[in-house]
C-alpha cells in the first residue's frame, strides 16, 4: 500500500520533472545520486531524475513481489528475516 501511494505521488511530480528540467538525480547542490545494479548499470551511473526514479520504482516493486523476501503465506519466512 505504501509503495502504491508513493507511486501515485511520484506520478503527479513526474509531469514537472522531465529529462530536460531534471537532468540529474540530486538531493540538493552537494548530493548527486547514481544508479548501480547487477544488470545494465554495473558501475554507479549518473542519470536524469526521471530515469533514476523509474529504475528505483521498478526495483522496489520487484523486491516487494519477491516471495523469498516478503512471503504472502502465513508461517513462511525467509532465512534472511531471522
- Homologous superfamily (CATH) for 1-65: MOB kinase activator (1.20.140.30)
Is 22 marked as binding a ligand? yes
Is 17 marked as binding a ligand? yes
DSSP state of 66: -
Write down the pTM of the prediction: 0.77
Query: End-to-end CA distance of the chain, in Å?
Result: 24
Is residue 18 within 8 Å of 52, Cβ to Cβ? no
- Give residue-wise pLDDT tens across range 9-66: 888 888 899 999 999 999 999 999 999 999 999 999 999 999 999 999 999 999 988 9
The DSSP annotation for 28-62 comes to: STT-B-EE--SSS--S-EE--HHHHHHHHHHHHHH
**Per-domain residue ranges of the chain:** 1-65
Amino acid at each position: 500500500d505504501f509503495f502504491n501511494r508513493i507511486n501515485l505521488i511520484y506520478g503527479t511530480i513526474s509531469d514537472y520533472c522531465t529529462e530536460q528540467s531534471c537532468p540529474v538525480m540530486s538531493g540538493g547542490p552537494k548530493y548527486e545520486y547514481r544508479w548501480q545494479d547487477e544488470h545494465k548499470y554495473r558501475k554507479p551511473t549518473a542519470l536524469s531524475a526521471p530515469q533514476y526514479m523509474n529504475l528505483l520504482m521498478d526495483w522496489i516493486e520487484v523486491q516487494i513481489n519477491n516471495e523469498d523476501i516478503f512471503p504472502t503465506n502465513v508461517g513462511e519466512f525467509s532465512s534472511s528475516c531471522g
